[in-house]
Amino acid sequence: MKKRVLLFVLYLLFWYLLFVLSRICFLLYHWDQSSHLSFTEALLTFRYGFMLDASMSAYISILPGLLLILDSFLNKRVFKLVIKYYTFVVCIVVTAIVVIDVNLYSYWGFRLDATPLFYMGNLRAMTASAGWFTWVGGILFIFLMSVLIYRIFLRIFRSLFIQVKSKGFQTILLTILVLFLVIPIRGGLGISSLTISSAYFSQNQFANHAAINPVWNVAFSITESKDLETKYIYYSPERMHQLVQPLLSKTGGTYKLLNSDRPNIIIMIVESLTAKAVEVTGGQKGITPYLDSLAHEGILFNHVMASSDRTDKGIAAVIAGYYSLPGSSPLKYQKLTEKLPFLPAELNKNGYHSSFFYGGTLEFANYRSFLVQAGFSRFISDVDFRPEELASKWGAWDHIVMNRFLKEMPSSAHNFFSTILTLTSHEPFIIPIPPLLKGNDIDTKFLNSIHYTDKCIGDFIRVAKTRDWWKNTLVVIIADHGSKLPGNSGYEDFRRQHIPMIWIGGALAIRDTVITPICSQVDLASTLLNQLNIDGSKFIFSKNILSTQANNFAFYTFNEGFGFRTLKDNLIYNTVTNNYTRAITSNPDLKEEAKAYLQLLYSDFFRNQKDLK
């Protein structure tokens, strides 16, 4: 009896200790952040990670436990083979998740969840941040580590497998033990089941993240969409609408910045264009000389906040004036996007022809389906460039894409709306020109990539000015999202979301002007349509920045919460722990208004996407 019970208990303990070891590896790999934890905080990551580790260990141990119960009815050789093969497969899965998680955390800033599944539709895009050598090496490393772990498992358990024998009392006892696995799986005997919030204990977000078991997090996030209908409900519908009404008000006239009601429009969405890299928005000097010059030549909006943290979310914000829910993206849900209003669709109704230029693949993250729904009828993407032009990890270099636009757009072109999405300033930050700054650290490489794209924009504007269409054209330069680089800003640092927006072109009636109200990326749609005297009321979350009675605030979401800012107020809310982790405000009602705003977004999300599962 003791041998069988020992086999089951050791199997459970084997996986738990493996998860403890993986957390140690995570802390060591990210020493640049874990070194700032106190010794107590580091230890607490194991304490608060215990339930998630135990839960995942219990899940893995269910099948071996059941086989031990049934072994009296099984051929002994079959029993041993099933256990061994099952364990080897689990070793590979666990090792793969742990290794991928450790590496991706450096870029994403959150523990691995189901997000990569959203991007698996295109192999090239999935591998763009690292070369094939890195991926092949990573796969080989995962396999070798899996084999090593498995051999350790065999060494520990071989003698126990030999001595397993069936007896009635043993079967009863093992049945009880297996049934008791429900306790660690659920996280205790309470009414509520285990959630990721059990890992949160510190004001230091990295400490909370270190306590998360990535294997449990992946499994949970795959199924958590079933639970979305119970999230972000803080008030009754009547109270929610009462709270958000002041934020949604669209009264007042508008300050006119254009000399034409129907200018050509180019929106240039620049990868990771953070305000921290642009001098005119308080960033580093000398990185973006062309943008700094254009800001003085045109109009600078210097208090714009990115709506979220990834390109697909930024596209939804700019093109549809729509936010992303925390940890999600509108582009995932076709039935939602089918019902959204779109900037190009509204412009098409008013005589415009819409086109989209991108050096990468449109099959990534549902870009194509979203953009087609949005009203774009002409696309230039990776399939339209020669193989030698696709030298970047993500596709064609930015200057090649911008030159293609200039080539495609004849001098006599009119009534066009075009969007150019850049990509070179995405990791791994490889550029086709000599770097501005010396060094090989991540911040330096990032700034060099921004400097390269800045040069591309400067060259593009210089040539565009020679075209006949320039005198009736507005160019809007805005980021897809902010960046933690340089400086590794966390989500509680508003500078991570701070991005510039610059308007330039012959269609401007006003120049060398700074627009100071704080606003969001999603506000571009309503603001632009108001300048064109086109009704933008369909864009309920997009407000006119230039309204004479503007309600100046910025709302944004990230993987585990949302931020709400005015020029005086700074709120950060964690939707996992359901509390404000930062609340700098003199307005006692603002905390409720911000939560109600998220609830409104959530309600609208599900009103448009009835069957989201």
In angstroms, what CA-CA distances link 494 with 118, 184, 304, 570, 602? 27, 38, 11, 8, 23
3-state SS assignment for residue 318: helix
pLDDT at 340: 95
Give SS3 for 303. Answer: strand
Helix axes of 39-70 and 2-29: crossing angle, nearest 10 degrees = 150
Torsion of CA 142, 147, 149, 150, to 10 degrees: 140
Please provide the CATH number assigned to the domain covering 257-608.
3.40.720.10
Mean pLDDT, residues 536-564 taken together? 94
* Mean pLDDT score, 457-471: 98
Distance between CA 221 and CA 216 in Å, rounded?
8
Report which secondary-structure segment, H or E, holds 84: helix 76-108
CA-atom Rg of the chain in angstroms: 27
pLDDT digits (tens, 9 = 90+) for 416-425: 999 999 999 9
Q: Residue 95's pLDDT is what?
A: 97
Bridging pattern class, strands 264-270 and 473-479: parallel
Residue 169's pLDDT is 67
CA distance linking residue 216 with residue 2, whole number of Å: 30
CA distances from 208 to 28, 49, 204, 212, 243 (A): 16, 9, 7, 7, 31
Q: Give me the percent of the chain exceeding a pLDDT of 90.
A: 71
Mean of pLDDT values over 382-388 = 95
How far apart (Å, rounded) are the C-alpha atoms in residues 325 and 605?
8
Label residue 147 by pLDDT band (50, 70, 90): very high
Task: With cut-offs at 50, 70 and 90, classify the pLDDT of residue 70.
Answer: confident
Residues of the chain with CATH 3.40.720.10: 257-608
Q: Which residue has the higher pLDDT, 61 or 328?
A: 61
Give me the helices (H) in 267-377, please: 289-297, 311-320, 334-337, 343-348, 367-374
Place 112 in a pLDDT band, splitting at 50, 70 and 90. Answer: confident
406-421 burial code (b ≥16 CB/10 A, e <16):
eeebeeeeebbbbbbb
Most confident of 103-112, 175-184, 528-537: 528-537
% residues pLDDT > 70 (the chain): 91
Cα gap 190→320, rounded to integer Å: 43
Mean pLDDT of 551-579: 94
Q: Average pLDDT, stretch 216-239? A: 79
- Alpha carbon distance 332, 271 (integer Å): 20
Q: What is the pTM of this model?
A: 0.86
User: Mean pLDDT across the chain, nearest whole number?
Assistant: 90
331-345, 467-481, 597-611: least confidently modelled range = 597-611
CA distance 459 to 557: 34
What is the predicted pLDDT for the residue at 451? 98
Average pLDDT over residues 545-563: 93
Residue 225 pLDDT level (bands cut at 50, 70, 90): low
Most distant CA pair in the chain, distance = 91
Q: Where does residue 533 rank: exposed (0-12), middle (13-18), buried (19+ CB within 10 A)? A: exposed
pLDDT band with cut points at 50, 70 and 90 for residue 481: very high
Question: Where would I find the H helices in 30-75?
Answer: 31-34, 39-70
Rounded to 10°, the helix 39-70/168-179 angle is 140
Q: What is the residue-wise DSSP string for 532-580?
A: TT---TT-TT---TTBTT----EEEEETTEEEEE-SS-EEEEETTTTEE
d(C-alpha 532, C-alpha 509), whole Å: 13
Tell me the C-alpha to C-alpha distance, in Å, between residue 210 and each of 11, 34, 115, 141: 24, 9, 18, 22
Q: What's at 456, amino acid-wise? A: C
pLDDT over 60 (residue 611): no
How big, in percent rounded to 5, are the helix, strand and coil portions of the chain?
50, 10, 35
The reported pLDDT for the residue numbered 359 is 97
**Among the ranges given (131-145, 255-269, 395-409, 533-547), the one the predictor scored with the smallest mean pLDDT:** 131-145
Is the CB of residue 32 less than 8 Å from the CB of residue 89?
no
pLDDT of 166-203, one tens digit each? 556 667 788 888 899 999 998 887 655 787 878 888 87
How many Cα neighbours within 13 Å face the side chain of 525? 28
Which of 257, 254, 256 lies closest to 547, judged by CA?
254
Q: Which two tokens stand for residue 441?
A: 């650290």
Higher pLDDT, 69 or 457: 457
Q: How far apart are CA 335 and CA 315, in angstroms?
A: 17
pLDDT value for 1 = 46
First-last CA distance in the chain = 45
Residue 112 CA to residue 104 CA, distance in Å, equals 7
pLDDT band (50, 70, 90) for residue 612: very low
Half-sphere exposure of 114 (CA within 13 A, CB side): 11
The tens digit of pLDDT for each residue in 53-67 reads 999 999 999 999 888
Beta-strand ranges (E) seen in 26-156 are: none
**Nearest alpha carbon to residue 452 among 480, 419, 420, 430:** 430
- Residue whose entry in the numeric block shows the structure tokens 């089951």: 8
- Looking at the chain, the number of H-run helices and the number of E-run strands are 21, 13
